[in-house]
Amino acid sequence: MRARLYISKENLKYNIDYVKKKIKHRKIIAMVKANAYGIGDVIISKELNKLGVNSFGVANVEEALRLRKNKVEGMILITSVVAQDEVKDAIDENISMSVSDLDNIKYISKVAKERKKIAKIHIKIDTGMTRLGFNIDNIIVNFNKIKEINNIKIEGIYTHLSCADSDKDYTYTQIQDFKKVVKELKKIQEFEYIHILNSDGTELYCNDVDFDTHVRVGLIMYGYGNSNTKPILKLTAPIIHINYVDKYVKVGYGGTYIAKPKTKIAVVKIGYADGFPRILSNKLMFKLNDICCQQVGNICMDMMMIDVSKVENIKVGDEVILWDFKDNLEDIAKKSNRIVYEVISSLGNRIERIIE
């Protein structure tokens, strides 16, 4: 018996169709980094292939190679800096690399020349995220230098919106700055990929951007953070033991919960090693047979306890619904002082992923 993450193909298709209608002429770069935000990168990417999505964003070479090994089709872009000892693997497997400085590009060129291949790059431009990317003030000069470097194909240019969900003025400034750069760089060459909009940007600023070719979407595909989409996940965990606890008996590590009347306690096979942090102890309600049941006692590494006194006819092996397709996880996120991204991306590998 294992905890299970059920992934709805129907809801995923609904969300992709919604994005496609919204982005019009553009195509999708699906962000499947961090194991598709904890959902399962191979499962999600193969399903996206079936839905006509053929470009993917990952965080490192290991993630990119896993997609290649599992025959995920299309362009794969590493959106972070590629370590020098991994550049050769990216080149050999035809994986596109983000670049943010000349030294990095020169090293990629050196490795590509040694391997008698052409390395594909996307030039990242910093318009206000202040994380990675070429400085916007000298990008034209640097771009001309990049053009002179051998064994390099400039496949795309992009930037990243930092406040799309919270600061319109700042976001408009980023959009306009990037638009000016694109206009100047297109005088030098055309690009297959021009991308700026993330999930929030796609939802809020599609009508303000008319010069891009792709959008980079993540959470919106998975149905969270957007009321127009449908959550694709249901998480369950099996009951592995049932206890009957007398009044005043302490439950779990530290005895943080004390039974009031006689209590029926179900021990459920999921814990903080699976993504439910200890800080959530005694704060959550879960469903069993459509009855809400409180989690009690400190959450353990591999297990948690739930008060199921109000539930009749339960047995070992029954599945407790930790969240379902209707939930947006906001409650769990708020109670653990996290955002939804953190909640789903922290789901552990012991949880079985099932697409249906």
Rounded distance between C-alpha atoms, residue 106 and residue 279, angstroms? 47
33 catalytic? Reply is: yes
Phi/psi for 273 (5° steps) reads -70, -15
| DSSP output for 21-65 | HHHTT-EEEEE-HHHHHTT-HHHHHHHHHHTT--EEEESSHHHHH
Phi/psi for 141 (5° steps) reads -60, -45
Closest CA to 6 of 231, 226, 228, 219: 231
Rounded distance between C-alpha atoms, residue 126 and residue 182, angstroms? 13
- Catalytic, out of 50, 71, 253, 335: 253
253 catalytic? Reply is: yes
Rounded distance between C-alpha atoms, residue 177 and residue 75, angstroms? 27
State the helix-helix crossing angle for 41-50 and 9-23, rounded to 10 degrees: 60
Determine contact, residues 50/30, Cβ cutoff 8 Å: no
Rounded distance between C-alpha atoms, residue 94 and residue 64, angstroms? 10
Distances (CA, A) of 278 to 216, 282, 294, 335: 33, 9, 15, 11
Within 13 Å, how many C-alpha atoms sit on residue 324's CB side? 11
- Catalytic, out of 18, 33, 124, 272: 33
**Hunting for tokens 């903080």 — which residue is that?**
272
Catalytic residues: 33, 253
